[in-house]
Structure 1
């Protein structure tokens, strides 16, 4: 990653045009080729940017080259061209204040609290939150196309396959549908009904689940952890 703090102007041309007049800014060039221009404000959002795939070309103006045009006394120019659309980002640096390069290596990724594995473990430990008399058969119940997150039995002893997601979308409902088709071929389990559980479920996923005869359950992660007691809330 390269970080440059410089007084610069920026022009974007392509599907739209935009101009940033001369001012001090932070320029970020990432290993994936993306280029971002930030001001000292606006939170995380850059003023302008170019995403990969793109090509960055830089060159410096020779000391003997001069221009009488006001504001055109740049010392270094960056041209960033998107390889597919041809959109162009031109950055002209008038004064470079800092220029730092550092290899960051492979990032392990963001590890969020409340990921699917945590939700699965918590729901398995508290399976009775789905109803009195419910019992856990096992977590990660094997099928030929992958493991079902939880296999349980309801109060009447019926088999229930539960698929758990942080965000419930159509793909998750499709996945559970495939599991149910396989599980219902097993005479020791059939009939098996499905529950699609998530912290938030999109309306399209709810509609598809209802069409497939699958129940939807919204999981309260804090309540499962014992941090939040829904019955003691004022609101």
Structure 2
């Protein structure tokens, strides 16, 4: 359920906020002045802003630009509604001691809703990329056959092991972000270990969205390979 107040009076604002803070997610669009006192001091002059009050005490004040808020207070903040003129929201944090005072000059609307926490699933983890390769082996190359994931070695677990169309042993190291020198070094350790234990020819492939210049140079020097993983292309799998 949700509630909405349009162009409310001070009496309506005070009643609405005191009934709902700490219980519901409250969003206010208002012309306001913002004062901050704490490790520093700041004053934001009157301007239309979006104010968010969360049930856990989080306070966020947004302007029309940038992702980052103008001011904010973390969970656990004490929020008080002062029935002054203009009506004031005081958000106080004890450690470190910080206070944000929001003077509400003109409120255009207030909404509130009972927002529940849902399941949160992160996609694009390295294990998800390995799953994508298993489901789409041709993204490595035509004829590639996945055999084993999490292959144990004395140096750690190889993300994926398989065979190419010529029967060569292929070891794959996966990174979900830009690969660094450390990723190349890790792959090379796996490569040397497998080369010593297998009779077949061994190939080492690093799969990542990108890699640094130094990582690319080392990869080429060691005779290893790189395949770019397009997150957007395979995000539907």
TM-score, structure 1 length as denominator?
A: 0.61
One of 150, 153, 165 as aligned partner of 2:160: 150
The structure showing larger relative contact order (alpha-carbon pairs under 8 Å, at least 6 residues apart) is 2
Offset from partner CA, 1:35-72 (integer Å, 9 cap, x none): 32123x3264433334x4x64122233x5xx6xxxxx7
Question: What value does the CA root-mean-square deviation take over the aligned residues?
Answer: 4.1
Partner of 1:168, secondary structure, is: coil
Structure 1 unaligned regions, length at least 5: 67-71, 226-235
- 2:18 corresponds to which residue? none
1:23–1:107 distance in 2 versus 1, CA, 3 Å:
farther
Deviation at 1:30, TM superposition (A): 4.4
Structure 2 unaligned regions, length at least 5: 1-23
How many residues align structurally? 205
1:149–1:33 distance in 2 versus 1, CA, 3 Å:
farther
Q: How does 1:1-235 map to 2 (within 5 A)?
A: 2-5=25-28, 6-13=30-37, 17-30=41-54, 34-39=58-63, 41-42=64-65, 44-50=67-73, 52=74, 55-61=76-82, 73-80=86-93, 83=95, 86=96, 88-94=98-104, 97-98=109-110, 100-109=112-121, 111=123, 116-117=129-130, 119-121=132-134, 123-128=136-141, 135-140=144-149, 142-143=151-152, 148-154=158-164, 157-170=167-180, 172-173=183-184, 175-177=186-188, 179-180=190-191, 182-184=193-195, 186-188=197-199, 192-203=202-213, 205-206=215-216, 209=219, 214-220=224-230
Which stretch shows the higher mean deviation, 1-10 or 138-147? 138-147
TM-score, structure 2 length as denominator?
A: 0.61
Deviation at 1:161, TM superposition (A): 0.7
